[in-house]
Structure 1
């Protein structure tokens, strides 16, 4: 069938989970009866939004969530690793539809399609149920933020960063606000247009979220979560003042504060209301598989990737992030090499992984530090850097000394990696800062360095998509 067909996963109403359709380009988005039944009531729309959180969790716990670290300088390959090996070696191909290249595209567009069907059903529901306007506005706001985050995540994987061209006129991604009609060809938007839609959705969500959805639980999108994501998007865009402004609104909100050093590990391993968590996806009742982030990064015996020497040497010996969030297995294939415990305590088989952090308060301090540095507000940048470093060194008094602006910038970049490593940032940070990728002396990939700019910093558009949708232009360097 020569068309784009973004699969909308049907909700199983009893369990509020979703069944994934694997033949992405060969299926209609939604069975007519299923869609009509689901959106007959406000409760059906609630179930659809809850299901959309699960679809987002699906792509974060799988290849997308691992990509930015697997393809970075933070990891080396374990002895028996096969998961995401083409991405680790920068050997992705357009025919990789059954693995990372195809899965990331499929899974994120599934999430977008789920959300769009909710958003497009809400106006009619408001007419039918005028007394439920507040609830429906809440669902609208959550959906808008989800759609913005999904488009943003796709743009980081399949398109060069916003500042790749001076006016962001290079190719972004297909931007969808509704399910395409059968036979409709959907081209890629320019990166500027891609960001315009991301920012429009986030800013449109803010007034609705402000009315009712303050930060009560980090597993539901809140006003603070939308502000935090705006700070991240503006940082990527290079709008430093807006990145600072949105970060400051979250930092100054008394609902949020950094976890104390003794509680740091619980930010990652315990679900529930934690003031450092701004938005997290909760993995309720789902066990780990051999190919998702819990096992691949955090299983004592079976982790596919280990911490590189370059990443380990970033940390002081008394840094709580080193002592609390890394583990040296005593047996199995990973004996003697560090793994991260941000996704489990090292015993994935014995622990149902509870959550994935999407954005934490510490990132807002680091966003603000980097943005203020770009505004030449060096003392302000140094103070935010100090706050994050001080939390990581509770037995010391931290002072930030820098001999030059460049020295301070490197300290901010290193602190960002120390704090956010293995949370899906590293490669994206390297690329948006227009830096080379330089892996360490223990690199065991086929590619140990890449200069910027580079076609290999992004993935190809999946082959089935390119074949079905003739409006799609393939990324340079892939044929």
Structure 2
């Protein structure tokens, strides 16, 4: 509570000088920034506020459901009460993107775009002020800068996968990437242009490697350590970036490093379901899960359960698993127990009737946003091993995940590429991967069960596989080139 006025000031300052809208700062703002960031206490308070905004941005409904909704893992529930009871319609925040009809002028994702560049600007300010702190040790400064630089890279990476076509869209990745900001906007108006995809990924990787080299053993923030970036979760992010880039050698080595040296172990088979059913703590194999906001009494007001939660037949949220996903699991697969089947009144041919829906148990109660966990590293290592002609290693890693789930283990490498993608879909469902996996593998989109979109199928490549940059931003910045078709 004693820091609340500083956090409020911090957010106000940065909202006035957003990188995303290139607004000129208000008179006197620079003095306020100097006052806030002149000492270690102010910088640490600012870093705490940066994590708060990052958590809100990735846990927001738009981004949190985007990849699974577009890829076909989830569908919508019927309206629970009122005159529209039983009717099924898209959630308002994602209605345009769900049908691949997002509009630049009224983009569903404008808050995510603006929020991401605000986060980047905040990270840049921390990176600029921290080196000259006089009351912080060198180890503390290195740790602060490592975390801020990782956040900067992470925000840019998320923007890249949403607003830029997949890395291999062109043979040399010469297509448009994103604006990459490495300096804060302190005064005046700036008009940066978009980098190529190749340059965008090079800048992300450079930031992450620099951060990894600067992490120390000195913790600067209080609270659960799993909710802040550290050297292991930063390496996990780097492995994901290499995967997205199809840099198989580095993807393998980096994922292997996390698996071998992080000290984190896969949840055992007997504990897999109970771990996901815990109400306040993440699964033990987590590498990074952002803490949800809580009030002064420790109560959570919002979490991932706001999108996936079930309380009763008349109190539930908007998103459930599609049968497209549920039917992929063998009956013996433990992960099938993570679906909570409930009967909801649904309009069928104009008449209310009970219809079964599958809520996920991953995100009930006070569930936080899962950014990285160890299972993903095994799946990255498997895919990278396959692409570097180590099929036996790839199959071994997939079988580790399948055996833990009590699924039938593979005995042949004949269709290993498809087996890996299928396993990613089953293991990482609702964690924000499917659509990006499909696009980076140049696959079509096919949504069947429960699809109420005007476009249930999309063929790769498609100009609609990236979202439009909001018109407000392209109007302000003459160098900000819009994505094709928008």
* Equivalences for residues 76-475 of structure 1 within 5 A: 76-78=75-77, 79-83=88-92, 84-97=94-107, 100-125=108-133, 128-129=134-135, 132-180=137-185, 181-209=187-215, 212=218, 217-253=225-261, 255-265=263-273, 266-267=275-276, 269-271=278-280, 275-285=284-294, 287-288=300-301, 293-300=304-311, 301-323=315-337, 325-331=338-344, 336-344=356-364, 351=365, 353-393=366-406, 398-402=408-412, 404=414, 407-475=415-483
What are the Cα deviations for residues 6-57 of structure 1, in whole angstroms up to 9, with x where unaligned?
A: xxxx974378995694996375468223311211111111111111111111
CA contact (8 A) 1:17 1:54 kept: no
CA contact (8 A) 1:11 1:51 kept: no
Taking structure 1 as the reference length, what is the TM-score of the superposition? Answer: 0.87
CA contact (8 A) 1:213 1:223 kept: no
What are the Cα deviations for residues 359-388 of structure 1, in whole angstroms up to 9, with x where unaligned?
A: 000000000111111112111000000011
Structure 1 residue 54 and structure 2 residue 65: aligned? no
Output the CA distance in 2 between the equivalents of 1:368 and 1:41: 42
CA contact (8 A) 1:276 1:360 kept: yes
CA contact (8 A) 2:172 2:198 kept: yes
CA contact (8 A) 1:70 1:87 kept: no
CA contact (8 A) 1:293 1:343 kept: yes
What are the Cα deviations for residues 217-239 of structure 1, in whole angstroms up to 9, with x where unaligned?
A: 31121111111111111011111
CA contact (8 A) 1:57 1:281 kept: yes
Give the length in aligned residue pairs: 448
Q: Return the offset for 1:160.
A: 0.3
CA contact (8 A) 1:111 1:150 kept: yes
Secondary structure of the residue that 2:147 maps to in structure 1? Answer: helix
**Residues 26 and 173 of structure 1: CA distance in aligned 2, closer, same or farther (over 3 Å):** closer
Counterpart in 2 of 1:73? 72
| 334-343 vs 375-384, which moves further | 334-343
Secondary structure of the residue that 1:390 maps to in structure 2? Answer: helix
**Residues 365 and 173 of structure 1: CA distance in aligned 2, closer, same or farther (over 3 Å):** same
Output the CA distance in 2 between the equivalents of 1:188 and 1:21: 22
Unmatched tracts of structure 2, length 5 or more: 78-87, 347-353
Output the CA distance in 2 between the equivalents of 1:268 and 1:280: 15
| 240-249 vs 278-287, which moves further | 278-287
Output the CA distance in 1 between the equivalents of 2:277 and 2:292: 12
Unmatched tracts of structure 1, length 5 or more: 1-9, 345-350
| 416-425 vs 70-79, which moves further | 70-79
| 71-80 vs 39-48, which moves further | 71-80
Taking structure 2 as the reference length, what is the TM-score of the superposition? Answer: 0.86
Secondary structure of the residue that 2:137 maps to in structure 1? Answer: helix
Output the CA distance in 2 between the equivalents of 1:268 and 1:236: 30
| 326-335 vs 36-45, which moves further | 326-335
Output the CA distance in 2 between the equivalents of 1:217 and 1:303: 30
**Residues 200 and 12 of structure 1: CA distance in aligned 2, closer, same or farther (over 3 Å):** farther
**Residues 403 and 139 of structure 1: CA distance in aligned 2, closer, same or farther (over 3 Å):** closer
Q: CA RMSD in A?
A: 2.6
CA contact (8 A) 2:139 2:216 kept: no
Output the CA distance in 2 between the equivalents of 1:436 and 1:208: 41
**Residues 93 and 436 of structure 1: CA distance in aligned 2, closer, same or farther (over 3 Å):** same
